Structure 1
Amino acid sequence: MFTPPPSPGLPPDQFKDPAAPRPVSPDTLKRATGRRTRWAIVLVPLALVLITASTRYITHPAAFDIFSDGPTLDWETLSQRSGDWAAHEPHHRRDGVSTASSASATFASLSGSNSGSATASPTTTSSPSQQTVPVVPGANASVPNPFPQPWDSDLSQNFSSLSCFDFFQNMTNTVPFRSCRPFSLLLQASNAFIEAQSNLEELNDIVWGTCNTNIDADQCAANMAWFSNSLATQCAEDLEQGNSMAMNTKIGLDSYAVMRSGGCLIDPTTDTYCYLDAVHNSNPSDSYFYSLPLGVSIPNNTIASCSACTKSLMTLYYDGLDNSSTSSDLTMLKSSYANAAKIAVADCGTSYATLLHESSALSQRTVSWLLLLLVGLASVLATSS
């Protein structure tokens, strides 16, 4: 005969799972919830304060400018102001290599193949560091005649297209180009400008000429933008094939405005051009910063001199990168600025240079991980209570 299975019911104690949760009384549940709430009340505001403080520091480290002992210069107005900062004692490079060589060698190397194989021949018997830096010339000063021009050796480099060669020939002989005396292209590709590094009096007149053109600065910037657009069309094949002359020239044209402003910065305490101060300094670290818009990175072993001039130059660069109307023309500066700013901040303090927003994005992710860690810690503590 069929025997039915036993009626379902509570299993005997010996069959109960010891790991199974036991019933929790309402009072115990209320106490556990209260403990979690108290931890959340303490830790969540703490996390929010951390995020707020980190964000404010990251996105605007210039808030620490109150700790800075150096002014920010403006080349058009600060020539009439005086400051209370003093020149910082020059440093030496980290690799122990002597920095006594003149800055002219630095700029000769920057010119690359664009300036031919000619070597700068000094016009004075003393190095720039042994010369006295001349003051900014007066309003009625005269400029060298003829004035140095880019590619003053020749234009015999190989071009991929005849249209690109014709473009360079035409551009370098037009009044809108020659009258604007582009500091960016002189620094990049002028033998005469390189040679003038060894004679501060001559260099002073040249820099004054780049800052005081018959055509005003805004019109010159517009001229260079027009030439840059024309180069992109006429030298499209050369740009595609990586012709260094076409590529470097476009970079120099795009960075005309920011490099003109940088080259015209004036040290208000001495009434001298900051650029000449950099050339005069036997430590070439300050000179490196002037080539950042051309995409020339600062060597990693550089120790910044922490001069007020270079601080103002870095501020000028950051403002250009932070301005939506100019940042698109400064792609090479953006790539070289980041490392230079890190070096400057490491050597001179957080107020000396502003890091780019991309750096803040990384730090924001770090803050997010800290927030998650705090929330997880709160859960563990509440559970174990």
Structure 2
Amino acid sequence: MSNASAHNHGIRSRHRNNDPAKRIHLEEVDIPISLVVDIPTHDDDVLVSRSDSSSNENMSVRADSTNSTITIPNTNTTSTNSSSSSSSSLPLPPLTPITTPSKPIPMPLDLSISNSLTNGCMIYLTTLLSTEEFIYDCLPFSLLLTTSTSYSTLLSNSIQLNNFTNINNLISYTSNNNNSERCENYIKIIEDNLNSNKNCGIDLNQNKNQVIKQTKNSLGNYKLIKKISNLINEETGIYCYLENVKSKRPDDAYLWNLPSGIPLPDKSIPTCSSCSRSILNTYSEFTSTTPTLNSTLVKQAMSRVNDACGASFVNLSAVALSNTSTRSASVNSLFLCPLGWFLGVLLSVFSLIWI
């Protein structure tokens, strides 16, 4: 069963069981990709709906090969307690950092390498994916969020089963600081080699393949995503990412799309939580040193949050503006659940799949 059909089955089952969640009909707005972004899928029906009886709210997503819309309750979502109910069943970070990830380990770029790439690029990526240091020692969470169908499946299964232990351990493993400097240098070498014409430079210059573009972007965001994935809610002690992807509303999860060049949806207002503050302030910290991070989008998101939470909620003045272009969403990019997620999310993965 495909990811999309599995989700649809669970959603339809809820409706057959007469889920008592109150349905709210509101304006429909276009949804950009989410926590997991840019992973091609062959399903026509990408995603459907999520309702939560405890929140008395209903969220629905309709997507086909030509259109995708999401219905978002048109209410202010700035409550700092929005994650309290969803956090109760989430695991705390391991006391000792995970040094051996649970198997099977999600693979970046699985099912995403296209024949439209040049031979040199295909060979380079294939070789990279057979390198233990890349797929094991320095596994980039940024690439899992954006180019991994296996990670998308792991996340959606975790949400369906309400068991986030594997994701929790994976975050601990990929954000482990014991080998930070070595892995950061290693990923930088990979990023530089990717730009070579004998590898994927021609493909990048042609600007036609979303997978290779997202790969370059995610490699550039390696250090940033590693840091924000390790952020913990000051009140609950739980990883912010887990709370965001399990939240009843997608607004906070949309923040994880910003490194992929995906702006917040027009109607979305992230919560005034310590996680929102920490994530946005971390983006601000990285704007001057991370060319792949669109600081204009970061500033727009920070302005929206400050409008809702107070002018000094996040440090808007620290953002160094860039000219990095934004990306548009496609239906085939939807993948994350809350996509989290995702978001997409997380990329054709970083996409949110609401249960």
TM-score computed with the length of structure 1 as normaliser: 0.58
Q: Say which SS state the counterpart of residue 293 (structure 2) adopts.
A: helix
Partner of 1:194: 152
Determine which of 194, 202, 205 is the counterpart of 1:237: 202
Determine which of 164, 172, 180 is the counterpart of 2:121: 164
Paired AA for residue 117 in structure 1 = H
Alpha-carbon distance in 1 for matches of 2:241, 2:97? 21
Structure 1: gaps spanning 5 or more residues: 1-92, 99-104, 361-385
Alpha-carbon distance in 1 for matches of 2:227, 2:97? 20
Partner of 1:144: 102
Contact 2:175 2:230 in 1 (8 A): yes
Find the structure with the greater CA-based Rg: 1
Q: Does 1:111 align with 2:68?
A: no
RMSD: 3.4
Partner of 2:173: 209
Alpha-carbon distance in 1 for matches of 2:153, 2:168? 13
Contact 1:295 1:335 in 2 (8 A): no
CA deviation vs aligned residue, 1:143-179 (integer Å, no higher than 9, x gap): 21231111223523411x2111111111122123112
Q: Normalized per residue, which structure has more helix?
A: 1
Paired AA for residue 227 in structure 1 = I
Q: Normalized per residue, which structure has more strand?
A: 2
Contact 1:131 1:280 in 2 (8 A): no
Name the CA shift for 1:318/1:150 in 2 (closer, same or farther; >3 Å): same
Contact 2:218 2:260 in 1 (8 A): yes
Q: Say which SS state the counterpart of residue 259 (structure 1) adopts.
A: helix
Partner of 1:15: none
Name the CA shift for 1:337/1:263 in 2 (closer, same or farther; >3 Å): same
Partner of 1:289: 255
Contact 2:113 2:211 in 1 (8 A): no
Deviation at 1:336, TM superposition (A): 2.0
Query: 5 Å matches for 1:1-385?
Result: 106-107=34-35, 110-112=36-38, 114-117=39-42, 129=86, 132-139=89-96, 141=98, 142-159=100-117, 161-178=118-135, 179-198=137-156, 199=158, 200-212=164-176, 216-233=179-196, 234-242=199-207, 243-322=209-288, 326=289, 329-355=290-316
Name the CA shift for 1:94/1:220 in 2 (closer, same or farther; >3 Å): farther
Q: Say which SS state the counterpart of residue 298 (structure 1) adopts.
A: coil
Structure 2: gaps spanning 5 or more residues: 1-23, 54-84, 159-163, 322-355
Deviation at 1:131, TM superposition (A): 7.4
Q: How many residues align?
A: 251
Contact 1:120 1:194 in 2 (8 A): no
Name the CA shift for 1:358/1:293 in 2 (closer, same or farther; >3 Å): closer
Alpha-carbon distance in 1 for matches of 2:46, 2:140? 20
Contact 1:95 1:301 in 2 (8 A): no
CA deviation vs aligned residue, 1:319-352 (integer Å, no higher than 9, x gap): 1124xxx2xx334332321221121111111112
Name the CA shift for 1:130/1:332 in 2 (closer, same or farther; >3 Å): closer
Name the CA shift for 1:202/1:120 in 2 (closer, same or farther; >3 Å): farther
